Structures are given as structure tokens and as C-alpha cells.
Structure 1
Amino acid sequence: MSMLRILICFVFLFPTKGFAAWIDSLRLSDALQSNMVIQQNKPFKVWGKAEPGQKIAIHADWLPASAEVYADTNGNFIGIIPVPKAAEGDFTPHRIRIVAGDEQIELDNLLIGDVWVCSGQSNMQFSVREMTGSEQVISGADQPPIRLLNVALNFSDTPLENMKGTWQVCSPTSVRDFSAVGYSFGKKLFDRLNIPIGLVFTGIGASSVQAYIPKGDLANDTMLNKAYLQPYLADPKSKEQIDGGFTFEKVMRPYLLYNAMVHPLINLSIRGFIWYQGEANHLERESYVRATQTLIKSWRRNFSQGQLPFYYVQIAPFFHDREDPALAFDAYFREAQVQVANLNNTYMVSTMDVGEAKDLHPKNKKPVGERLAAIALNREYDQLDVVYQGPLVDDVRFEGKKAYVYFTPGTLGTGLQTNDGRPPRFFYVAGNDRIFYPAEAFIDGDRIVVETNKVTHIASVRYAFFNYPVTNLENKEGFPAMPFRTDSWEEGSEGSRH
């Protein structure tokens, strides 16, 4: 039988719906799927496509009545339904049914809990199967109340509505290729809160911060426009047709990843963001701080859910194939990263003690995720008993060949210690000649005493302030002391280091 006869027969069998009826007109956003976690205690958007002007009814099994909306002239619709607060230990599966005429879509096995977006470059992408202790982690990952979504890599010159990726129930199979930091974060929240946790990973290795910022936000900032946007727009590559394939060059281009991998999610109700990125921009300073703060503000604005928490990771120690303690460009970058947290509801964790000096991708990812979770538990979930930061320098007093380092009381936890029982490492001192020497250091109660015979009058103390120190100084809760310097000398103006 010819194709024409088949089509004629189809129309005859279904004459009331017309020739086009065999093509479904009702579609939901790719972000809305069975097995997902619905964000608790917030209005939840159900959005998608239908025939222009058509009425869409949204039935959620926790609501007594359906919500009704109409598709606009372009066929787009957004319905908003209330969602109750999650109850501890309640893992009841729910359903949402969306009906348009005689078409319907049902989402099932939904849980009500908290959704967190995980983003960044390779150290956030680094998978569970690659992390320290992966076999034990994977074998223990049969946790149906945790749900995982990996957003597939894509690039676009214009903002997209669609993405690829499947919401999955957390299991030893599904967790293997998920973000190790993201999963460790989510598992810590689940273990402590006992509510469903949804984790969305959207990122890619080697990517730059500017790749995740909307084009308009780059254009509207003089510094970012000059540093990132205009050089790209002046490059012939900006005129090329963009496809979804990975290249190290393409993940550095401004705004393409935002358009393809963040914008499709902006209608999704979430609890907050975690972010691990910086290696691709590590030679930048002020422009990186501005770019990251712009990213945070733009994401918060576009997700339209207020000042969503944004927790991020300071880059780990790395030697860049040069074992020279005089090289401190990453230390200056880490110092710049601290400034990002000047933005409201934004906090940073350190990885100075769990890095691997000769590996850009340290495998010990569990502490990183759990430290991010500790911030969330204390700051977002009001569990004020949870320690979430390491010793932060407050004051340094100089007395000739000695210096006394004091820390902000709230960062000491229950006291100072080293994780190996040895004296604190990586304290350096300099006189006014700006030549740095390694110094002896020891714990004296809640302070550190630093001393040297190399300098008559100490003018500066620096702690862990070069590219690759893997540190041992921490509080008794296991959070590392933050790197610091007491001087304000311009980068590159120091003398030699001995």
C-alpha cells in the first residue's frame, strides 16, 4: 500500500481530529519528568507547549482541584501550582497529570523535597566512579529518595528552551557517572534532613566562568564586555554555526553554555546552587570576581526565586609542573575567589588540605561535597550547631622575630589542631626587603606562634600562599585554615623565596 493511501485511511478513521491530529501537540519542558524531585514549599511551574489558545488542566495528587491555564498565541503555557512543605521521612511518590483536550501527559514517581543545581568545570563534573573510595560509595548508593539529573552537553548562540537528560532514581548504576562533589553534597543533606533531595548537574570540564553568563549581562558591564565579550565577537569563530560537540576552545566562549545548559532550567523551582570552577580563569583577578558575582546575580534574577544561596569551592593546590614555592599566581587567584563571597548569601569552602599538589583533579571529593553541605545545613537550614568553616585569620601581631596569629572566634570550632599531629606547615615570613623564608610555627591555644632566625623584624606573614601547599592546619571539626597574607604588596613585587 502506498504512503498516500495509508495517510488517507488514517484521516478516514479519525475524521473529527483532522490530518494533523496524529502529531501530539502537548509537550512538557524537558526538565519536567517522572522520577524528579519537586521543590517543596514553593510555587511549582508546569510549562510546555500546546495548541495556541488551548486550555490545559494540571492535576497534582496533593491538590483538591486542578489548575487551568491557556496556551498563548505561540502555543506556550505556564501553570503554577502550590507545593506543600516536605515532611521528614515522607517519601510518598506523587503524580502530576497534564491534560489538553484529549491529550494528556502523566508524571509519576515524583517526590517532594529540595532541588539543588550543581555546576562548574571538571572538578564538579568529576564522577563518583573516579573518586576516592568509589567502590564503597557506589555500593551504598541505593537511595531512592535521592534523584539525579545530568544535563547533556550543548552549546547555543541563543537561549534554548530545551535540554537533554533524564531524571533517575539514585542507585549504584545511576550514581556512577554523576558528579562526585554533587552527590556527596546531596547525600550529606539527605542523611541529615531525611527528606528527598534532587540534584541537577549542568556543567563541563575546562569551561570558563564567562561561558555561563548571559550575553546581555556581559554586554552591560564595561569590564566584562571588554575582557570577554568583545574579543569573542571580534573572532571569526563567533560567526561559525554552533553545534553540540566538545572542544577545549568552545567551552571557553562566553554565554554559549548559559544559553544551552542553564537557561532551559530557569523555570524550575530549586533550593539553591553549588559551584566548583576557576581553574580555567586562574590567571585572572578582578575580572573573575566581577564575572562570578555577575553570574550569581544573573542566575538569581532569571530563576526568579529571590536571593538563592550560592555556595562555591576555592581551587585546590596544584603545582603546574613547577615545584617552586616562589610561584604564587594560584594563591592570588584563591585570594580573589574569597571576594566573591562579599555578595549576599554566598559562601566559599576551602580544599587546601584535600588537594593533590601534582593532580589538577584531586580524587578526595567527599570532603568537598560535605563541606558545601555543612554550609547549607547551617546557613540555609538553620542547623546552627553544624560547623561549616575553617579557621580564618583575624589579626597578626609582630614582635621582632615572632608573630602571633589570631583567628576569628566563630571559625575555630572547638579548637586548633593539625591533621597529622605535626607542627603547622607552610608559614613564611619576610622583612621589609620582601624576601620570604620558611618559618617555624606551633599551636598555642587558639593562636599560632610563628618564629624565625632569618628575619630580624617580621614585616609580613604568609600562610599557604603559593601554588601547591597541601595543608595540615585545621579546626577540630576538620575544616582547614584559610590561606592568608598580612601584606598588601602588589603581585610580583616580592623578592625571591628561600
Structure 2
Amino acid sequence: MKIYNKYILCCIGSLSFIMSSFANVTIPSFFSDHMVLQQQDNVKIWGWSNPHEPITVTTSWSNDTITTKGTNYAKWEAVLKTPKAGGPYTITIKGYNEIKLNNVLIGEVWVCSGQSNMEWTASAGIDDAETAIAAANFPNIRLFTVSKHSSETPQDNLDGQWQTCSPETMQYFSAVAYFFGKKLYQELDIPIGLINSSWGGSYAETWMPESVFKTNDELKKASEKINPVEWAPYEPGRIYNAMIHPLTKLNISGVIWYQGENNTANSKFYHLIFSELIKSWRQAFNKEMPFYFAQIAPFSYHEFAGVEVRDAQRRTLELPNTAMVVTSDIGDLKDIHPRNKKDVGLRFAQLALKKHYYTIETVVESPLYASAEVKNNKLLVTFNHADGLYATSKTSQFEVAGADEVFHSAKFKIKGNQIEVFSKQVKEPMYVRYAWGNTIEANIFNKVGLPMSSFTTQLIK
């Protein structure tokens, strides 16, 4: 009998060893303790396993058991139906091994991306940094920073870790994203998940799928105008492959974006580049998600490159479900990295609260050029979001031109949400532009104190 029992124990031990050797159910890094999943959605969760390995997924918010198995490519996927915002919850994934995810929240998830002004942290230096850091104790705001990587091919995973928002974690996270998320949390009173995937000194082309360039000759031509830079990859698709593609099966609310400074190198193409970036991301995420972006601030770029990028960003608003934060009043002409990140984040949040969550009714967008018509040798220019227009100085930042496209300084008169613009030097005006210079800071605002965007009606060639 003792020999028989030893035989059984030996078999059990061998079986345990065999089973442990198959214990290879794994998941991407963004499925972890402290994560946030999108509320009231059919959320995908996925990973890797042995082929045909039986897998079950259970959650503490539901009695349902989701069953699936590994494919012949050693991958698996399941869909979880998430409830209204809340938590914390647990998720248990069982194959030959078991993974348990703790302190999971259900709420709103946003991707925050771009170059250095999005990447910029409180520890790098922002206005009133010490106070902001000390107050950053929000357990229901979760932060995930994607580590910098590049790749020649699309990847399925990336490096990063979900963290609870605290003074210790906030100070090394995107400041713009933090202030955006903090305002959403305070207004919505639900968990907020922020995924910061940004890289200072990067071109927009590197944030787009390389395949887009193969089917668009103009886009390919634009990408050939950029040069290698010291701090980031410059080849199309390299950052996208490693830092965005792995996220594209996630369920998210939307994107906030702050980039463009580097693309002053090919500013005349930026409207095309940026429009195609937004389209390609929406296709990759399979969602017409909100895409809100910050207009770059005035700075001493070469020729008219800075204002050309700003105007390209303004014209990208023709795409549906987009909106723009104008920053010409909160920049720093001596520093390409303005330290006022709080107002940028708050302006992003106001856009989301009105246009995506419908919780506020106030004006949240800057005055934007809408149309112009000739009346008695003058141009009557109409603006959107222009209630209560006022000028902070008598200095005119308007210029007009005739058929020769030679611009002359013009006088202006505010008439409601319209502005009359005229110049004695231009008898038959055809074109108008405003704040057309790299370093010109807006001096016209709407009733909520948001600055008018620079613009030109002339075709940029």
C-alpha cells in the first residue's frame, strides 16, 4: 500500500511538473493590476498561450464565465462586457496557469500622444509645480506611460506599467495629460485611465502606419522633406509600430494630441500629414473616436513655418469629431516648451466635457475663421465660436491682399461675431490673414477668454 501511495504521489508530482511546463498563458503589459477598462463596452482582452489551450476568464462584476482557447498561432482573445464606471474589481484568467488582475477600475480611457510638449512632466518644470505635485492624490486616476521603443514592424506588446495617481507618480507623467484627466475626474466623478504614448522631437510621420505612405504619393513626397534628428526616429511608422499599434485593440474614449513643432521642417505638407494620421488611427482602432489636438504655440521658427503648421492644424478641423486647443496666449516666445501645461490640459478637458460627454454648455473653442465676403472694398470676416469678441489692443494683426497676393496691413472693426477688415492700399481685397507670423500672439478673444486662431485664406503653396 505504501508503495502504491508513493506511486500515486509520484504521478501527481510528474503531472504537476508537466502542467507547470505548459503554464504559458500571458497577457500584454497594459492588462495588469491598477488598470482602467472602458465602461459599458465590449472590451477585448487577449494574450498568448499554447495552441488549443483551454482558457477561462471571470470577473468580480459578473457571474459569467468566458471560455476560449489558444489558436494554432498560440494566441487567444476574449470579450468582456463591462458595467458602468466603478470598482475596484478583479479579473481572473485561467489556462494551465492562472493570472489574477487586482484593483481594476471601470471608467473612461484616453490615449495622450505627441512629442515633447505632451511628454513634458511636472518634474521637468511646469508653472507652480510644487503645488501641483503635492495635490496629485487621486487613487481613481490611473496612469500608464509607454516606454520609448521603435520597430520596423508592427508589435503586439509594449513596455509600461499602470500606476495609481499620487504625488510620487504624477510628477513623472505627462503634465498636460494629468491636468486633462484630473478635470475629467472632478467633473464626471468616475475613474479615468490615461495612456501617455509620446516622444519628444518626433515627426508625425513616425506616428503613422508605414503602409499609408505606400499608397499615397503626396504623403511619401512629404516624408522625404524631413531629415534625421538626434532625439527620435524619423522613418515613417517606426514609433507607431512599437508605441501605438499594440494599443489599437484596446477600447478607448478618444485621443488628445500635442505635436507639430518638428513638422515645421515640412510645414506646407502638414495638413495632409496630420489629416492622414487621424484617419489612419481611426482605422486602426476601428472607431471614429474624438481626436482633440493642441495648436503649437508661437516660437521663432524659420520663415513662416510655425504659423503654417498652426494653419494646417486649423484646417484639419474639417475632419469630423475633431477640435483644437489654441495656445497662442499661453506660450513662451523664448522656450519651445511653455511651462503652462495646466491651461492646455484644462482646455483639452473642456473640449471633451462639452463635445464628448455633453456635461457643459459654455463656449469651449477659440474663435475660428468661417468665411469672408467683399462689401464696399472691405472684407467682412465671419467667425465660429465668436460670441463676445474683443481686442486686447488696438494693434491690428490683420492683413489683406488683392489678386496679386501681396499683403498689406489692414484696419479692423469688430461687429458681433464678424470683423470688418480694410486697407487703403487694397482697393479690391480677395485674401485676408490674421496673426500671420511665427511669433505673433493673438490679441482678439471671445467672451470666455479664448484666443482667436491665426489663419489665412490664401492657398499655401
Q: State the TM-score, normalized to the length of structure 2.
A: 0.89
Q: 2:389 corresponds to which letter in structure 1?
A: L
- How far apart, in 2, do the equivalents of 1:339 and 1:459 lie? 19
Q: 2:352 aligns with which of 370, 376, 388?
A: 376
Separation in 1 of the partners of 2:132 and 2:22?
Answer: 44
State the SS of the aligned residue for 1:284: helix
Give the match's secondary structure for 1:185.
helix
Alignment match, 2:297: 316
Q: State the Cα deviation string for residues 125-178 of structure 1 (Å, max 9, x = none).
A: 111332222222111110111110000000111111121111011111111111
Q: 1:112 and 2:106 equivalent?
A: yes
CA distance in 1, matches of 2:423, 2:219: 44
CA contact (8 A) 1:185 1:373 kept: yes
> In structure 1, which of residues 400, 404, 417 is the aligned counterpart of residue 390 of structure 2?
417
Going from structure 1 to structure 2, the CA distance change for 1:297 and 1:484 (only over 3 Å counts) comes to closer
Show the counterpart of 1:243.
none
Does residue 467 (structure 1) correspond to residue 424 (structure 2)? The answer is no
3-state SS of the aligned residue for 2:16? Answer: coil
1:229-240 map, 5 Å: none
Asked if residue 480 in structure 1 is aligned to residue 451 in structure 2, the reply is yes
- Deviation string for 1:399-420 (max 9, x for gaps)? 7786554423xx024x1234xx
Do the aligned residues in 2 keep the contact of 1:423 with 1:441 (CA within 8 Å)?
A: no
* Residue 426 of structure 1: aligned partner: 397
Conservation of the 8 A alpha-carbon contact between 1:424 and 1:441:
no
The answer to whether 1:342 aligns with 2:338 is no
Partner residue of 2:7?
none
Supply the distance in 1 between the matched residues of 2:129 and 2:317 (Cα, whole angstroms): 31
Residues 293 and 139 (structure 1), Cα distance of their counterparts in 2 relative to 1, 3 Å cut: same
Q: Is the Cα contact below 8 Å between 2:60 and 2:91 reproduced in 1?
A: yes
In the aligned structure 2, how far is the partner of 1:477 from the partner of 1:220?
43
Unaligned 5+ residue runs, structure 2? Answer: 1-9
Q: CA RMSD in A?
A: 2.8
Change (3 A) 1:335 1:52: same
Q: Is the 8 A contact 2:200 2:232 kept in 1?
A: no
Any stretches of 5+ residues in structure 1 without a counterpart?
A: 1-10, 238-246, 492-498
Given candidates 251, 255, 264, the residue that maps to 2:237 is 255
Question: Comparing 214-223 with 464-473, which one deviates more in the overlay?
Answer: 214-223
2:293 aligned partner, one-letter code: Y
Deviates more, 1:77-86 or 1:290-299: 290-299
Partner of 2:143: 148
Q: Secondary structure at the match of 2:170?
A: coil
- 1:281 alignment partner AA: N
Taking the TM superposition and a 5 Å limit, the aligned residue runs for 1:18-57 are 18=17, 21=20, 24-57=23-56
| TM-score, length basis structure 1 | 0.83
Alignment match, 1:206: 201
Q: Deviations over 1:471-497 (max 9, x none)?
A: 2311121221121234x2655xxxxxx
Q: Which residue number corresponds to residue 59 of structure 2? A: 60
Identity within the alignment, %: 36
Q: What is the CA distance between 1:454 and its match in structure 2?
A: 6.5
Letter in 2 for 1:482: S
Q: Does structure 1 residue 82 correspond to structure 2 residue 81?
A: yes
Q: CA deviation at 1:361?
A: 1.2
Matches within 5 A, 1:53-452: 53-86=52-85, 90=86, 92-101=87-96, 103-129=97-123, 130-228=125-223, 248=230, 250-285=232-267, 287-304=269-286, 306-320=287-301, 327-383=303-359, 385-396=361-372, 404-408=380-384, 411-413=385-387, 415-418=388-391, 421-423=392-394, 426-430=397-401, 436-441=407-412, 443-450=414-421
| Residue type of the alignment partner of 1:205 | G
CA shift, 1:317, in A, is 0.7
How far apart in 2 are the matches of 1:165 and 1:490? 41
Q: Distance in 1 between matches of 2:243 and 2:460?
A: 38
Distance 2:460 2:45 in 1: 52
- Specify the code of the residue in structure 1 equivalent to 2:343: P
1:303 CA drift (Å): 1.9
- Residues 404, 215 of structure 1: CA spacing in aligned structure 2 closer, same or farther, 3 A cutoff? closer
| 1:366 Cα deviation from its structure 2 partner | 1.7
- Whether the 8 Å contact between 2:180 and 2:349 is mirrored in structure 1 is yes
Aligned residue identity for 2:64? A
Q: Is the 8 A contact 2:442 2:454 kept in 1?
A: no
Query: Hey, what's the Cα distance between the residues in 2 that align with 1:252 and 1:207?
Result: 7
Shift, 1:51, TM fit? 2.0
Alpha-carbon deviation of 1:298?
Answer: 2.2
Conserved? CA contact 2:267–2:305, under 8 Å: no
Q: Which amino acid aligns with 1:27?
A: T
Structure 2 CA distance for partners of 1:142 and 1:404, relative to 1, 3 Å: same
| Deviation at residue 72 of structure 1 after TM alignment | 0.9
Conserved? CA contact 1:347–1:375, under 8 Å: yes
Change (3 A) 1:56 1:192: same
Q: Secondary structure at the match of 1:30?
A: coil
Q: Aligned equivalents of 2:320 and 2:95: distance in 1?
A: 42
The 10-residue stretch of structure 1 (442-451 or 278-287) with the greater mean CA deviation from structure 2: 442-451
| 1:400–1:456 contact (8 Å) kept in structure 2 | no
C-alpha displacement of 1:392: 2.0
Aligned CA distance change for structure 1 residues 135 and 210 (closer, same or farther; 3 Å): same
Whole-Å separation in 1 of the counterparts to 2:390 and 2:105? 42
Take 2:152 and 2:19, find their aligned partners in 1: how far apart are those partners? 32
Contact 2:36/2:105 (<8 A) preserved: yes
Structure 1: distance between partners of 2:411 and 2:88: 59
